[in-house]
């Protein structure tokens, strides 16, 4: 459709909207986990046993919470974008494995899988020109 072709001029605006929205939602999910303390970190980190990691669950939970909260902020502003997007993909793969392992099925894991796909795509696309990492 010809009348929508002018939107090609606003790709960077689209990336900005995606970055701000995803970053804000990751902060929203990660911040309470950071503030939850070692008990919550161990609970979150215990999900790593679904991928064969059975040691230091509190450390893994803290790193997951940090990835979501600080990583969400970095995604939002577009700083260290590709490495953080990769960490998000890893975090979301563990979340999906946890849902599947707990018997939630594909419907329970769908959100984590969808976000992992989006972040995987963003690794290739980059943050766009309206970011701290602009090229």
| Lowest pLDDT segment from 6-15, 63-72, 87-96 | 6-15
3-state secondary structure of 52: coil
pTM for this prediction: 0.92
Per-residue model confidence (pLDDT) at position 75 = 98
Question: Band of the pLDDT at 1, cuts 50, 70, 90?
Answer: low
pLDDT tops 80 at residue 77: yes
Place of tokens 């929203």: 28
- Is 52 a residue whose pLDDT tops 70? yes
């Amino acid at each position: 459709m010809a009348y929508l072709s002018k939107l090609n001029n606003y790709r960077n605006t689209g990336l900005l909207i995606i970055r701000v929205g995803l970053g804000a939602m990751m902060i929203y999910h990660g911040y309470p986990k950071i503030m939850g303390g070692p008990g919550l970190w161990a609970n979150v980190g215990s999900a790593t046993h679904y991928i064969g990691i059975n040691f230091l669950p509190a450390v893994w939970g803290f790193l997951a919470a940090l990835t979501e909260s600080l990583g969400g902020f970095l995604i939002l502003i577009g700083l260290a974008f590709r490495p953080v997007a990769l960490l998000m993909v890893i975090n979301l793969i563990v979340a999906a494995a946890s849902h599947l392992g707990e018997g939630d099925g594909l419907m329970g894991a769908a959100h984590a899988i969808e976000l992992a796909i989006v972040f995987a795509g963003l690794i290739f696309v980059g943050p766009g020109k309206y970011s701290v990492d602009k090229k």
